[in-house]
A = this chain, B = another copy of it.
Amino acid sequence: MIYFTDHDIDRLIEDDVPMGDMTSLLLQLNSSDGSISIAARHPMVVCCTEEAKRIYEKAGLTVTQMLPSGTYLQPGEVFITAQGKADAIHLIWRTGGTLMEYASGVATRTRLLIEKAKPFNEKISVAGTRKHPPFLKKVALKGLLAGGGVPHRTGLSDTILIFREHLCFVGGYDNLPAVISQVRNQQKERKIVVEAHNEDDALKAAHAGADALQLDKLSPETLTSIALKSRAINPHICILAAGGVNAENAAAYAKAGADALVSSWMYFGPPADIQVKIDVTEK
């Protein structure tokens, strides 16, 4: 459950309508009543309907139906309906819509990645990185979770991930035994993940005691080789395929032996396409 504060919801509305909806105001839509109904235009995992509901309610609408985030929809399936003042509908129509479109796009692509990879490794997991567009970490993560993925790391504060760019300050891959030992002495409750860009560095990390290897932009073939050799060193080691992982190569990486696919591919791409219907409520 990703928690959106009231302020998050308000910010979305205010961002789009800082000083009122000029068009509805001039058309005096506050004297009419209507309804809004939103449906999928293509198969999709819907996401952020809970937040759209809150947006609608803040505008004074009554939400009459809603499917929860994570629901898989067929084209034409309606996932949220509401009714109320016509000016309130116009106030939040697009704000709710763009939120659900973006989040559902992320969710749907996450699900696609999983569908591509699972046939080749039933236990594989799809982890979304922190490289989402700026300012929308919660939306990106909610989409990821709705699609069946998990967070890789939500930011710098939660896991230990040693990059090549860290190691350049502390002796490089050759010094990993000392580095890992020092880190483990201080912090025992978290795994130590080491990023590697080639087989040589990856095996150094495995030998030095890394709990997981994050293999960046390596081919599935190289990944297979590293997985084999590093598991010989430590059968519990976790192999993460990262860097350019997407729907086209997910199967190959799964087949190659990755325990998890680490990707930001799901965050970028077209928003889910939704169909909005606004109707007059006859009095």
Contact = CB atoms under 8 A, between A and B. Distances in A.
A12 B160 contact: no
Contact of A268 (B12, B193, B212, B270): B270
Contacts of A24: 1, 156, 166
Given A156-B21, A156-B91, A212 B183 contact: no
Interface in A96-138: 98-99, 102, 123, 125, 127, 130-138
B17 A156 contact: yes
A157 B156 contact: no
B187 A26 contact: yes
Contacts of A94: 130-131
A186 B89 CA distance: 22
Range of interface residues on chain A? 35 or more
A32 B165 CA distance: 12
Contacts of A240: 188-189
A207 to B, nearest CB: 16
Number of copies: 6
A191 interface: yes
A158 B156 contact: no
Contact of A189 (B19, B179, B260): B260
A189 B159 contact: yes
A150 interface: yes
A87 interface: yes
Interface string A248-279: 00000000000110000000111100001011
A190 B187 CA distance: 13
A198 interface: no
A247 interface: no
21 contacts: A1-B91, A2-B19, A3-B14, A5-B6, A15-B135, A16-B156, A18-B154, A22-B157, A22-B187, A23-B160, A26-B150, A26-B187, A27-B183, A34-B169, A98-B131, A133-B271, A134-B139, A135-B136, A150-B187, A157-B158, A188-B238
